[in-house]
């Protein structure tokens, strides 16, 4: 048996707004646009999918409508790393300008240790936490 990571599903109240926000944040393309579900994929996934090996396609993000709002810290979150010439602070500033907000989930306690956080915790417009890491290009 073999499994492949196909997608990450994000519960949200406003499917269109969440999908649009994440599309801007990641530079991804929307490939499904339904009232209750929207799907984003990385731009390279829009090339000829038949010729692209499955292991290079990567997971998509699926946004589905739910009635309830987010109430507690996520048990699972995305870690995002700046790409190429982009630096951590510039990406954090860009995401804040898009409507993200800083959130505290315990990372500030690391500042008092010998292993301070090398990431910033943000939340999307509906409160889903994600991290912006230091560059991982090296």
The string of DSSP codes covering 71-111 is -S--SS-EEE---TT--HHHHHHHHHHHT-EE--SSGGGGG
Q: Are residues 137 and 93 in the same domain?
A: yes
Q: Are residues 116 and 78 in the same domain?
A: yes
Pick from 45, 69, 93: which residue ends a domain?
69
Q: Are residues 64 and 78 in the same domain?
A: no
> How far apart, in whole angstroms, are the C-alpha atoms of residue 38 and residue 9?
10
CATH number for the domain that contains residue 14: 3.30.720.120
Q: Are residues 21 and 47 in the same domain?
A: yes
The whole-number pLDDT of residue 135 equals: 74
Helix then strand count (H, E) for the chain reads: 3, 8
**Using one digit for the tens of pLDDT, what is the confidence trace for 125-135?**
999 999 998 87
Count up the domains in the chain and report the number. Answer: 2
Pick from 69, 89, 121: which residue ends a domain?
69
Distances 120 to 19, 85, 103, 114, 136 between C-alpha atoms, Å? 22, 18, 9, 17, 14
Q: Are residues 75 and 65 in the same domain?
A: no
Reading the block at residue 35, the tokens are 């009232």
The whole-number pLDDT of residue 56 equals: 64
The whole-number pLDDT of residue 109 equals: 72
Q: Are residues 106 and 125 in the same domain?
A: yes
Q: Are residues 23 and 57 in the same domain?
A: yes
Q: Are residues 120 and 86 in the same domain?
A: yes
Three-state DSSP class for residue 57: helix
Distances 68 to 7, 48, 101 between C-alpha atoms, Å? 22, 38, 20
Q: Are residues 26 and 89 in the same domain?
A: no
> How far apart, in whole angstroms, are the C-alpha atoms of residue 37 and residue 12?
10
Pick from 10, 44, 69: which residue ends a domain?
69
The whole-number pLDDT of residue 117 equals: 67
- With a cut of 50, which residues of the chain have pLDDT below it? none
For residue 19, the enclosing domain spans 1-69
Q: Are residues 26 and 86 in the same domain?
A: no
């Amino acid at each position: 048996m073999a499994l492949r990571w196909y997608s990450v599903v994000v519960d949200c109240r406003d499917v269109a707004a969440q999908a649009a926000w994440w599309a801007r944040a990641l530079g991804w393309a929307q490939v499904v646009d339904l009232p209750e579900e929207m799907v984003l994929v990385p731009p390279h996934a829009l090339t000829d999918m038949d010729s692209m090996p499955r292991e290079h396609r990567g997971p998509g993000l699926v946004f589905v409508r739910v009635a309830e709002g987010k109430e507690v810290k996520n048990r699972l979150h995305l870690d995002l790393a700046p790409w190429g010439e982009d630096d951590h602070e510039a990406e954090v500033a860009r995401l804040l300008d898009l409507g993200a907000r800083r959130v505290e989930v315990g990372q500030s306690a690391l500042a008092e240790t010998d292993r301070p956080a090398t990431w910033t915790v943000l939340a999307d417009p509906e409160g889903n936490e994600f991290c912006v890491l230091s560059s991982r290009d090296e």
